[in-house]
Amino acid sequence: MKGENGNPHQYAESAKAAYQKARGINADAGVVRWELRLFDALAVMDEKGMLKAVREAAEGIKIPGQMPWD
């Protein structure tokens, strides 16, 4: 699926940004575990690995310069 500007990564970038903001608001372990289980289920069909960075953002992995607490 391609985004409005033809960029297939547009939606992944938007999702990553949303999860980064969400982790700044709530990093409750139960919420994060639930989301990661959903990502792991989706990963079975993610042949190109496009969701890897989104999953990292959902997990709250600190990526320098990309997280709200940087």
The structural domain count of the chain equals: 1
**Do the domain assignments include residue 4?**
no
Provide the token pair at 14. 């938007």
Residue 48 lies in a domain: yes
Query: What is the model's pLDDT at position 18?
Result: 93
pLDDT of residue 70: 42
> Residue 45 is part of which domain span?
10-59
Q: Model confidence over 38-66: pLDDT tens digits?
A: 999 999 999 988 888 899 989 887 655 54
Directed axis angle between helix 52-59 and helix 10-25, to 10°? Answer: 10
Round the average pLDDT of the chain to a whole number and report it. 81
Which tokens belong to 47? 């042949």
Write the single-letter amino acid at 16.
K
